[in-house]
Amino acid sequence: RMILDDLNSMALVANTADDFIKLATQYSISLEENTPMIYPLKLPYTQFVINVNENFKRYVNEIFEFIQPLYTDYDGIIPEMVRDFLKKLNEVFILFANSQEQDINVISLAQISNNIKYILQSHVFYVEYVKKKCGIKTYVTLYSERPLKEAWMSYEEMIYEQLKKMIRRFLSDLTGDNWMPTKPRGEASSYIEGMIAYLNVIYMNLQTLSGYYVESCFKDALKFTSKLYCEILFDETVVKNYNIYAIVNLKSDVDALDSYFREIDLTYKDFSNVLEPIKNLIDFFEIKKLDVFSEKNKAIDSFYQVNEAEFIKFLTKYKNLKSSKEMKGKITESEISSLIKKYKKK
């Protein structure tokens, strides 16, 4: 219930250094390296993290009060019960993820994921609190981080799947495109502009959070865009024939996406190359060399490579424009046929 109530919560704000101690330091929570400590400071987690940590303290206090009259040695008992608490917390996260999978948006999933990250950081606080409360002087390991990391990873996977679902929804409009236009559109399609607006909202919200996994999910979802483009293009029920203007329109869409990815790109995120597969496909119509396309394709992560057999089949559907004047300087059906024959002989 706490997770559900927290879904629409705002990130915590530390207005002073004392607030930061109260909301972070006392729980052994530290922020990302190089975070400017300028107040008011927006924290990357919600009240849920504080609530879990306070519930942890109550849980330990209740256990201690119950067993204090019965035992004198707490070294084994307390850590075991605390491990049980955290194991159950992990199960709650997993159960909630499974029950709400279709209903939680990407931003809420990312916030839950981030909250788990900062609960993991509180491990040191848990250890120290139990040792102080129970007078344990020896080293205590309360739990392995692995259980909560499993919950963490399950939310990262849900983020990836939700992003893919939305990208697929936007690109589904591609199936209704005119593949034999009489002139180029001259700009990106409305569904690509809508997709960029959606991705930007997601990205800006993820920036207020933190963590390698969240950004890795975002990057993989962008790569999925390129893979999905190729799947749609190679679907014979979608693209039966096409001409060079259809490729020009496709290039306008991909250029708009590429421009956006480069705009938000930082070197370590490396968003700028996520569209390489579909860009290589489009470049073929300018370069007019199948062997060059093949070499570039082999350099891409195998999961995102264009299937060469399907690409060649796609090329056979290419049609000349009706006007020979308009075909000047553009690749022709006969050129493509010759290139395919030459490539197959190698």
Q: What is the pLDDT of residue 134?
A: 74
Q: What is the pLDDT of residue 338?
A: 95
The model's pLDDT over 33-88, given as tens digits with 9 standing for 90+, comes to 777 889 999 888 888 899 888 988 888 888 888 777 776 666 666 667 777 777 88
CA distances from 156 to 266, 283, 295 (A): 21, 34, 33
Q: What is the pLDDT of residue 254?
A: 93
In 3-state terms, what secondary structure has residue 32? coil
13, β-bridge pairs: 42
Gap between the terminal Cα atoms of the chain? 64
Cβ proximity of 120 and 152 under 8 Å: yes
pTM of the entire predicted model:
0.78
Q: What is the pLDDT of residue 182?
A: 93
Q: What is the pLDDT of residue 101?
A: 53
Question: What does 279-319 look like in DSSP terms, one character per residue?
Answer: HHHHHHHHH--HHHHHHHHHTS-GGG---HHHHHHHHTTB-
The model's pLDDT over 163-175, given as tens digits with 9 standing for 90+, comes to 898 999 999 998 8
Beta-carbon contacts of 177 under 8 Å, excluding residues fewer than 6 positions away, are 189, 246, 249
d(CA 318, CA 316): 6
For the four alpha carbons of 228, 234, 236 and 241, in that order, the dihedral sign comes to positive
d(CA 179, CA 87): 55
Q: Vertex 17, ends 12 and 19: CA angle to 5°?
A: 40
Torsion of CA 214, 215, 217, 220, to 10 degrees: 180
Question: What does 109-123 look like in DSSP terms, one character per residue?
Answer: HHHHHHHHHHHHHTH
Q: What is the pLDDT of residue 321?
A: 95
Question: Which pair of tokens denotes residue 121?
Answer: 């950081």
Neighbours of 177 (CB within 10 A): 19
Question: Which pair of tokens denotes residue 202?
Answer: 């997601």
Q: Which of 228, 210, 240, 113 is nearest to 165 (CA)?
A: 228
**Run of H or E residues at 14:** strand 13-14
Ranges in the chain, pLDDT < 70:
1-9, 71-79, 100-103, 136-147, 208-214, 265-270, 272, 346
Q: What is the pLDDT of residue 74?
A: 62
Q: What is the pLDDT of residue 192?
A: 93
d(CA 218, CA 220): 6
Amino acid making up residue 155: Y
Phi, psi of 284, deg, nearest 5: -55, -40
318, β-bridge pairs: 242
The model's pLDDT over 195-207, given as tens digits with 9 standing for 90+, comes to 999 988 888 777 7
d(CA 185, CA 327): 17
- Is residue 147 reached through a cis peptide bond, with omega within 30 degrees of 0 on the bond before it? no
